[in-house]
Amino acid sequence: MPKIDRNGVEINYEIYGSGPALFLTHGFSATSKMWDDQINTLSKHFTLIVWDMRGHGQTDYPDDEKLYSEEETIEDIRAILVNLKIDKVNIGGMSLGGYMSLAFYYKYPEMVESLLIIDTGPGFKNADAREGWNNYALKQAKKFDEFGLDSLIGKSKEMNPINHRNAKGLVNAAKGMLTQKDDRIINELPNIKVPSLIVVGEHDKPFLAAADYMEKKIKNSIKIIIKDAGHAVNIDQPDAFNDEVKRFLLS
C-alpha cells in the first residue's frame, strides 16, 4: 500500500488499473475498503485511486485536533494526485467523501474532470440546520470517545471496526471534518461547470432530498436512484452502481 508523507502525516492510498483517473473517498468511520466491490470492475477502465482519510484505516491518526479539517483533507487529496502526476481527475465519494469532493472542486476546479456525488449532502444554508448537523457530529465524537470502536459493531459493512487502528482518530475526525463551518459548498453548486453524477440509494431517506436539490442546482448533472439500496449504495448494489459509473464516465 503506497503512502505519502504530508507535513509529517502519512496518508495511505491504493491505485489500481489504467486509463482516466477516478479518485474515490470513503464516508465518515468507513475506510478505503468500502470500495472493494468496485476495484475489479472499474480498474478495467480507469486508474482507480482509493484512500483513507486522517483518523481512518491505515492513514495516520495525529493527536492534534487541528490536523483534522476540511482544508487538510483537500490538501491530502491534492498531494496524492500530485504525487501520481495526475493533473485532471474524475473525483467523488460517499457521504462525507462526497462533501469533501465538492470542497475539492471549490478550491481546485481546474483539476476536476467530473464529479461523482454519492449519498451526500451539500451542506446547509440555514445556520440552525448547520448547528443541528454539528451537534450530531459532536455526539458521534462523544460516542467514540466513550465506547471506542465498539460503537461500530453491528453497523453496515463499510464501518467494520477491524479496519481502524483506534477510535481516537474518529473522535478527532468527527470534530474537525464532519462538522461544517459555513455555507460555501452548497452556495457553489450553481457554479459547478463539470459533468456531475448524483447517486443515491432508494432507501437512503435522509439524502433523497439532498440529491433532488443538487440535481436542480448543478446544471450539468444526472441523478440516479438505485433500487434496493441504502446509504452505502455501492455496497448494497455494487453491480448497478458500477454500471452507472461506467455509463457516466465512458459515454
Q: pLDDT tens digits for 22-33?
A: 999 999 999 999
Is 165 inside any structural domain?
Answer: no
pTM of the predicted protein model: 0.96
Residue 213 pLDDT greater than 80, yes or no: yes
Half-sphere exposure of 6 (CA within 13 A, CB side): 25
Q: What total of structural domains would you count in the chain?
A: 1
Q: In sequence order, what are the residues at sequence separation of 6 or more whose Cβ sits closer than 8 angstroms to the Cβ of residue 232?
A: 27, 30, 34, 94, 119, 156, 157, 158, 201
Is 151 inside any structural domain?
Answer: no
DSSP letter string over the chain? --EEEETTEEEEEEEE--SSEEEEEPPTT--GGGGHHHHHHHTTTSEEEEE--TTSTTS---S-GGG-SHHHHHHHHHHHHHHTT-SSEEEEEETHHHHHHHHHHHH-GGGEEEEEEES-----SSHHHHHHHHHHHHHHHHHHHHHGGGGGTTS-GGG-GGG-S-SHHHHHHIIIIIS---SHHHHHGGG--S-EEEEEETT-HHHHHHHHHHHHHSTTEEEEEETT--S-HHHHSHHHHHHHHHHHHH-
pLDDT of residue 242: 98
DSSP β-bridge partners for residue 50: 14, 24
Is 177 inside any structural domain?
Answer: no
Is 150 inside any structural domain?
Answer: no
Q: The domain containing residue 43 runs over which residues? A: 3-123+183-250
Is 246 inside any structural domain?
Answer: yes
Is 174 inside any structural domain?
Answer: no
Q: In sequence order, what are the residues at sequence separation of 6 or more whose Cβ sits closer than 8 angstroms to the Cβ of residue 59?
A: 9, 10, 11, 12, 51, 52, 53
Look over the chain and give the mean of its residue pLDDT values, rounded to a whole number.
96
**Mean pLDDT over residues 40-45, rounded?**
98
Nearest to 13 by CA among 68, 51, 40, 60: 51
Instruction: Read off the pLDDT of residues 73-110 as tens digits, 9 standing for 90 and up.
Output: 999 999 999 999 999 999 999 999 999 999 999 999 99
For residue 193, what is its C-alpha cell? 461547470
Is 153 inside any structural domain?
Answer: no
C-alpha dihedral (208, 209, 212, 218), degrees to nearest 10: -110
Instruction: Read off the pLDDT of residues 125-148 as tens digits, 9 standing for 90 and up.
Output: 999 999 999 999 999 999 999 999
Is 175 inside any structural domain?
Answer: no
Residue 42 sits in a domain whose CATH number is 3.40.50.1820
Q: How confident is the model at residue 1 (pLDDT cuts 50, 70, 90)?
A: confident
Report the range of poorest mean pLDDT among 6-10, 50-54, 162-166, 170-174. 162-166
